[in-house]
Amino acid sequence: MKEGMADSMTTRDLAGYDFGKAASAVSPVSDDALRQLEQTVEWTEADAALLNKHLPLFRERAESMVESWRAVISAQPHLAEWFRGPDGAPDDDYKARVKARFVQWVIDVASRSHDRDWLNYQEEIGLRHTPAKKNATDHKHTPPLVPFRYLLAFVAIVLPVRKFFAAAIHSPDELDGVEMAWRKAACLHIALWARPYTIEGLW
Ligand code: HEM
C-alpha cells in the first residue's frame, strides 16, 4: 500500500481497519463506565460538535499530524524498535499499513460518535499494542508489544495540535476549543486502550 492513501480510500478498503466488523474485539466496558470516563475528561456534546465542525480540516491535516508524530518515534531507537522486523531493519510495509490506520484514527476522533462499534474498536486498538494482537493484523514479525510506559508517555506528543490548525482557524477562542476538545478525546481513547494492559479488576 502506498503511504498516505487512507483519506482517499473508503474505509472499507483500508487493510486491517476492522471498525464495526466482526473481526474487531468486543469491549467489556459498560455504557455507564464509558459515560463516567467521558465525565472525567469533561468531554461534552459541544466538544464532539466542534471537532465535527472542523472535520474537513482534520481530513486535510491528519496525514501531516501522523507524519510529525512518526518522526518523533523514528528519531528514538527505543521507540523505533517496535516497528523493526526480525532482521533489525524497519519494516516499511508494516509502517505504511499502520500509518494508514493511524491517519484514519485522527479522522475518526473528529467524526465518530461514542457508540458500541466505536467502543469495541478502542478495545481492538489497545489489544493491537499488546502481545494479544500486535502484528496479527498485518501478519508481521516485529516485537510483540508496545510497552505501556511508551503508550502513556507518548500522549504528551499527540496532545498539542493547535500548530496544525492555526493557519486555518483564525479565532483564538475557536482554536483553543478545538485543541481542548482534541486533548479530552485523545486522553479518553488512551484510557480505553489501557484496559487490555491491566490485570483483571485493576482497570
Ligand atoms: C498516545 C499515543 C499513541 C497513539 C494515539 C497511537 C495510535 C495508534 C493507532 C490509531 C494505531 C492503529 C490502530 C489500528 O490498527 O486501527 C496504532 C498502531 C500501532 N502503534 Fe500506536 N499509538 C500511540 C503510541 C504508540 C507508541 C509509543 C508506539 C511505539 C513506539 C506505537 C506503536 C504502534 C504500533 C507498532 C502499531 C501497530 C500495531 C499492530 O501490529 O497492529 N504506538 N497506534
Query: What 3-state class would DSSP assign to 15?
Result: coil
How confident is residue 2, by pLDDT bands cut at 50, 70 and 90? Answer: very low
- Asked if pLDDT for residue 124 goes beyond 50, the answer is yes
175 inside domain: yes
Average pLDDT, the chain: 95
14: number of CA atoms within 13 Å, CB side?
A: 24
pLDDT tens readout for residues 160-172: 999 999 999 999 9
| Stretch 34-58: mean pLDDT | 98
pTM, to two decimals: 0.95
Q: Give the domain CATH number at 150.
A: 1.10.490.10
Q: What is the distance between the alpha carbons of residues 25 and 121, in angstroms, rounded to a whole number?
A: 7
Residue ranges of alpha helices (H) inside the chain are: 31-40, 45-53, 55-74, 77-80, 92-111, 116-128, 148-153, 155-158, 162-165, 172-194
Establish whether residue 137 lines the binding site of ligand 1, counting it when its CB lies within 6 angstroms of any ligand atom. Answer: yes
DSSP state of 84: B
22: number of CA atoms within 13 Å, CB side?
A: 0
The pLDDT of residue 13 is 85
Pull the grid cell for residue 111: 467524526
The pLDDT of residue 83 is 98
103 inside domain: yes
203 inside domain: no
Sign of torsion over alpha carbons 163, 164, 168, 173: negative
| Stretch 51-77: mean pLDDT | 98
- Asked if pLDDT for residue 177 goes beyond 70, the answer is yes
Pull the grid cell for residue 143: 516485537
| Phi-psi map region of 4: left, alpha, beta (phi>0 left; psi -120 to 50 alpha) | left
25 inside domain: no
The pLDDT of residue 11 is 74
Of 17, 98, 157, best ligand 1 pocket probe by most atoms within 8 Å of the beta carbon = 98
Of 72, 91, 102, 183, best ligand 1 pocket probe by most atoms within 8 Å of the beta carbon = 102
Least confident window among 7-11, 80-84, 130-134, 145-149: 7-11
Residue 136 Cα: closest atom of ligand 1:
40
4 inside domain: no
The pLDDT of residue 1 is 29
Residue 105 Cα: closest atom of ligand 1:
10
| Stretch 150-159: mean pLDDT | 98
- Asked if pLDDT for residue 4 goes beyond 70, the answer is no
Residue-range definition of the domain harbouring residue 186:
30-197
36 inside domain: yes
How confident is residue 12, by pLDDT bands cut at 50, 70 and 90? Answer: low
13 inside domain: no
69: number of CA atoms within 13 Å, CB side?
A: 22
Residue 186 Cα: closest atom of ligand 1:
5
Work out how many domains the chain is built from and give that number.
1
